[in-house]
Structure 1
């Protein structure tokens, strides 16, 4: 591992922006499946993983928000946690080939994770830069479509990528749609301009009562070139048997609708429907019934109208008899519409319509084995007429995309948090980091903050997109012929954050300010670098820990005796408060006492625990007991040991600050789960216990005391923390070049940004 001197994070404005009415849903809130706990609450100016400072919001999706960031340090990190999407990306990266299709896949550069206010980890992916999606791009054309001439290069590139995925990587994408085709990023100046625009003219945002802020996205101007294929969250390995539900509703292939095994040919079906959406305003298969609900019966009836009735194919499906009789006749569960492909294509613009329709008929077949491969579509006569294909695209040569040779690399980070499944399964978060390339200070990056990926239909129309996103520079807005320049709707100015801060009361102040940046927690035992195998890392860890201890003591003393004269230090009370709150929190969580949890915990943690308690099965009850404190050396043989005590003022709010104490609690705990049964005859209720679970736990509990305008809140549990790693020491907050004063100022700036 090596590092250079870190860059200092920039300070972002905390006033001077439009505040959106809290009642108006914006951005990710407009999605039908939106749940705030699935999204990490990113704030402008925040430093993620100690190195990526958030500069601007670029977009959002069903499982993500996208952010532009600046890399503050240079670091090499070894190792990788292979979650599903990471496994797909790593497999693609491991394929040694000079197939040109690999060059047009958005590359994974690394990953890490961040922990939210409720202590849940969010996985972050560092990806190759990209501009807006083809779906967004089409939204700026009055007809929302391209001509066949415009489609040709795009289509042949997508088919080339699929040929690489299918024949060399053996990957099935399963989620080909316009939102996953991203135009190339512009040059470095594009992103520098975007950063400066966020400083000079901050984005409008909504500020919620729980402290979460939802920003309007900025649309970066794309560079020249054909789109990249992205989003492998739903991808599958082709050497496995698959029959699970995949693909957006209107894009689903017949074998998926009919619950059959499927393979690479679902991507061929997919690319045909996607190509149709690029040149035609009407999606080929609507699939909605009279109530506007997507209905498989309507979807299959439309397929019958376009492709005719299948004969032998439906007999291979376990559910085929639901829709067709034994003679292969459609049961009229939904009327077959009177539509034909040629009529639907009447408004398609450009030469080569006959060849395009032939391409569609070849790709849209009931049986997967009747569809051509992606390579066959590239080379056949029909595709040459339709897409102007030139065989030289697959000349075997080295890729020109050598990221190590580019001095200005822009990357994208996608933060992923696990979703609760419909059956109440326990959330499983994955938290890992790896970067394969070295970086120097000042590199600009993009960031995507997400929850785990699921498909969804389009969430909003192009008009809604334009209302909720803005070009960061009006001078750079599209000026092409036939493209209207988008001017963002100016909302009435409301009170700035500085003015609102002066009007804050202790009850209206959000309790979730995040874990104070630069918090150092000394790891114990085997988690510390070995003094024999890694002496430099061990000495560095010991030195930083000792230095942080002195600085935190000085900062806490100044907070209590200088900034707030005569404020008691409460040194003896810290352990007792942590023990009391920890026991109360666990007890009330087991009981499902929502009101008590809101009093004991900060907002994010309380919401998380309440959600988990609501997810319990009907009649399920839980009890929790603290059996004893384990008097380990790491707790100085007390079971409870204060490992950090940090304090800082809150900028813009007079007589205000926050103190966070981290306590290591080693204990033996037991839990019982009881299921309630009701005798139907006697109506008597019986609780049947499950076997008792006893385990030794070591927890780093963060308790927090908030002070607003001279009035203090009681101690609350903020959440849980994890010990510092050697990788964390590359954060600018641990830089040896920072003085105590500079460190305190940076910490205050971060608190200000988080608010």
Structure 2
């Protein structure tokens, strides 16, 4: 989950049932944590493991994101792991210039449902998925895409080359802008005073906010239905189909959510990555390394530039599964997977025959990336060619051939004059030393 985001979760509420022994801690506005240092302001979002609140830090007079983990033993272990990873990041990034979220503090908090591990993280803005939606899925100007890509790569370079850590779940939701798209949602820019005392009548904590949220959702849906009817009768106009003006939005961003991250020599799981951003070697269970993050990064860059997800596999009912469809879509864009790679994984026999051909999907419709960009997204030939030259090496079926984050930072496409992101990004983060970490491979599975 985008744990320090101002935008909160995209889903409905987390549900009453999870507020029980071993589950979430019910928080009320103005509740105090860590001996009164942090005061809860409003809920930012939630995930399977935790809820996240905007909090005011009395000690530093600033706003932070307070992540409160469920109290059951498995969630405590997950939190300890994330704290370990975040501490490693913070210890080597004293200047806070590596485009990775900073851990400020962590502590235990005892409540009715047990003892909860809490993490205090720097407050950041909206995630990239919210930015894509805000722009009506129309794709950002390439200068903006470059600025975002540069930040992500600075973070990945530090993570991979200096810390030896693989993120394993890179996606738009896990990359946050420095500040909220809407200034009124940003506690630093909105000028709203912090809530330091409990509002009157605030006694039911999380449950009251859940009820209120459900009522608001119902009201919004009712208004939407009325609007739709009026629109069909010519009473109101449809929403605009063009993108918004995003010139004023700060494109600096940071990578967040290290709950699934692992050290390269200590893999946590065999199945990693969110479906659409999953690398082929993970599907085939052929082992993985830092280059899985580079595959995900390429998928994100495409999504920012076009507004569409690069790979959206479907499965069921057509005689093949989602994994096989995913592999087929990869090959339609990138060409046939080399036989040596296709048959090398523990799962390969489920999808490929001994010749390296898919068993159930025989007809592929090839559509090269540069042609796709021009035909579907109306890129100029020059933009399509240059963007493809940047992305395609990252989408190589051979993981060891994918360029490192460090190498990508030196790519001509990223270093056009108009592409330089906000000057506060520390360019010294990108050193010209390559220790060849992309070739280190983790063996998982058989």
Deviation of 1:380 (Å): 2.8
What is the 5 A alignment of 1:2-401? 29=12, 35-37=18-20, 38-51=23-36, 52-72=38-58, 83-95=80-92, 102=98, 104-118=99-113, 120-185=114-179, 189-190=188-189, 192-193=191-192, 195=194, 213=210, 216=213, 224=250, 226-240=252-266, 244-289=270-315, 295-310=322-337, 311-333=339-361, 336-345=364-373, 346-347=376-377, 352-384=383-415, 388=419, 395-396=427-428
- 1:332 counterpart SS class: coil
* Compared CA separation, residues 387 and 258, structure 1 to 2 (3 A): farther
Given that 1:287 and 1:294 are in contact with CA atoms closer than 8 Å, whether structure 2 keeps it comes out as no
Contact 1:301 1:337 in 2 (8 A): no
Aligned counterpart, 1:501: none
Bigger fraction of residues in strand: 1
For 2:270, what is the secondary structure of its paired residue? coil
Q: Give the gaps of 5 or more residues in structure 2.
A: 1-8, 61-76, 181-185, 217-247, 431-446
Pairs within 5 Å for 1:591-670: none
For residue 143 of structure 1, report the CA deviation from its aligned partner.
3.7
CA deviation digits over 1:467-494, x for unaligned, max 9? xxxxxxxxxxxxxxxxxxxxxxxxxxxx
1:235 deviates by 0.8
Correspondence list, 1:542-553, <5 A: none
How far apart are residue 28 of structure 1 and its match?
5.1
SS at match of 2:428: coil
Q: Given the superposition, is the C-alpha separation of residues 163 and 68 from structure 1 closer, same or farther in structure 2, using an over 3 Å criterion?
A: same
C-alpha spacing 1:130/1:361, structure 2 compared with 1 (3 Å): same
Q: How many angstroms apart in 1 are the aligned matches of 2:301 and 2:294?
A: 11
TM-score by length of 1: 0.42
Structure 1 distance, partners of 2:384, 2:10, is 37
SS at the partner of 1:193?
coil
Instruction: Give the drift of 1:386.
Output: 11
**Bigger Rg, which one:** 1
Residues 201 and 158 of structure 1, relative CA distance in 2, 3 Å threshold = farther
- Answer yes or no: is the 8 Å Cα contact 1:151–1:275 preserved in 2: yes
Q: Any unmatched runs of 5+ in structure 1?
A: 1-25, 75-80, 399-755
Q: Whole-Å Cα distance in 2 between the matches of residues 129 and 142 of structure 1?
A: 25
Structure 1 residue 227 displacement after superposition: 1.0
Relative distance call for 1:206 and 1:321 in structure 2 (3 A) is same
Cα deviation, residue 236, structure 1: 0.8
| 1:710 counterpart residue number | none
Matched with 1:11 is: none
Inter-partner Cα distance in structure 1 for 2:49 and 2:138: 25
Q: Count residues with an aligned counterpart.
A: 356
Q: Secondary structure at the match of 1:161?
A: helix
Provide the C-alpha distance between the structure 1 equivalents of 2:263 and 2:416, rounded to a whole number of angstroms.
32
Q: 1:231, CA displacement in angstroms?
A: 1.1
Q: 2:89, 2:102 within 8 Å by CA — same for their partners in 1? A: no
Higher helix share: 2
